[in-house]
Amino acid sequence: MEYDTAFKTISDLGRLLATREISSVELTHDYLRRIEQYDRRIGAYLAVTADLAVDQAECADRLLARGEGGPLTGIPMALKDILSTRGLPTTCGSRILEKYIPQYSATVVEKLERAGAVLLGKTNMDEFAMGSSNEHSAFRPVRNPWDFDRVPGGSSGGSAAAVSAGMAAFALGTDTGGSIRQPASLTGTVGLKPTYGRVSRYGLVAFASSLDQVGPITRSVRDAALVLQVIAGWDPRDSTTARADVPDYVAALDGGIRGLRLGLPIEYFGEGMSPGVEARIRSAVDAFRDLGATVEEISLPHTHYGISTYYVISPAEAMANLARYDGVRFGLSSAGCDIWETYANTRQAGFGREVKRRILLGAYALSAGYYDAYYLKAQKVRTLVKAELDRAFQRFDALLAPTSPTVAFKIGEKAGDPLQMYLSDVYTVPANMAGNTGLSVPAGLSEGLPVGLQILGRQLDEATVLRVGHAFEEATGYSADRPDLSAAAPA
């Protein structure tokens, strides 16, 4: 039964549960066996909550037996370890929070619990979400299920790898500069970054507060719509959430895209993109035209400034957010002879190299004499990027672009060159700077590895982005591609 269920979508599993062809307890044990079988090699999980998962599955089965529950009831899932979970460790992939156990759960976690989803565990990640490869986890790197010598992308690489390898039906990640969409692209999964404010950030451990957003990683676009339906909405505990109605995302999927106008930014096809990725994206454009959509080129000249602007603003916000880890209130504490030495010792011992690098960048950008030259100017450019996208969406219903300029790269290939690593997010960062929604869907293979197509949409218009992605998925079938995991299984 394990291999019959591992790569099924939420919709497929929901039908099996509803007809009682399988119980949630049986399904949960299937996924736990797969985690035991494959995750020693992949490293997607930092903690597996087997006992809790079985308890939740038993509750879900009782609901289903009474004909109650919803589309996520009894469905096993995983959470990026940056989302607070009451009574369970939340490490953010960092030694400084290795023993931290929150006293409350994030709003999205509470919503999934009320929906009857089953928590399999917390997934690995780049420390405090700072990375594009999942090599910056303080505990161990995550390996791509498609090629164990390659990265799965980051910082939500653990969530993406878990879904790609059939070790969770879906997972939540966070996207600050592309950290849902880029790993989804590299692992052949679907990744949705909602509009900033569409999903509550309460209980999300902050990296860059004006950029972070929670979203799903799934096996299909329909699954992404199902999860977003549950986690979206205004939250009185998060003042940045939008007081906007949540539409029926699933109902909007099947409207077709004939007559839609789609833009193709020419700046997204520049130096650094691999020929194989460009070929797959050009092929995807042809598929959209065959489906009846109009695709026209558009220029977004401020795209070139997105990545440099992001790496001024996000480290500045990170520096401020990470100041709370002082060795006094929670987490790791390395005692010194006074408070200042304790503070310094704790941060020296608890933070990894990439986190320290970004703290230094942020402190520099905000320091006297450099604030106007760097941080203030970056915020002005951010406004230009947003205005440019706003103008584009006056002409087009959505924009098409690559998600990542390359397929998954080798572990260690970019570890010694931070600038090359940062460029992995060059196509995803603008949506975060502007607060728009973005979706990555599988677009076929290059060099035997997944390529992701990115669909960008207006703010709070996830329905259109999901509809465009669903039409492409149905026409091409690329989301059905799966990795060969035989090399990950123990002998």
Cα–Cα separations (whole angstroms), residue 201 to 83, 125, 305, 462, 477: 9, 18, 27, 18, 33
Q: Is the CB of residue 462 less than 8 Å from the CB of residue 195?
A: yes
Residue 242 zone, left/alpha/beta (φ > 0; ψ -120 to 50; rest):
beta
Give the whole-angstrom CA distance, residue 44 versus residue 160.
Answer: 8
DSSP E strand boundaries for 19-80: 45-48, 76-80
Q: Which of 24, 132, 155, 479 is catalytic?
A: 155
What is the DSSP secondary structure assignment for residue 388, as one 8-state letter? H
Catalytic residue list contains 155: yes
Q: In what order do the strands lie in the sheet with 170-174?
A: 45-48, 118-123, 76-80, 170-174, 214-218, 190-193, 437-446, 449-457, 398-402, 261-265, 294-298
CB atoms within 10 A of CB 26: 17
The one catalytic residue among 23, 24, 80, 424? 80
DSSP codes of every residue in 429-484? HHHHHHT-EEEEEEEEEETTEEEEEEEEE-TT-HHHHHHHHHHHHHHH-GGG----
Cα separation, 15 vs 176, whole angstroms: 34
Q: What span, in angstroms and rounded, lies between the C-alpha atoms of 190 and 219?
A: 6
Selected catalytic residue, list 23, 24, 105, 179: 179
Task: Report the distance separating Cα 479 and Cα 471, nearest Å.
Answer: 12
- C-alpha to C-alpha distance for 301 and 483, rounded to whole angstroms: 37
- Residue 209, φ and ψ in degrees, nearest 5: -65, -30
For 446, phi then psi, to 5°, come to -135, 130
Enumerate residues 6+ apart whose C-beta is below 8 A from 347. Answer: 96, 325, 326, 327, 356
Catalytic residue ranges: 80, 155, 179
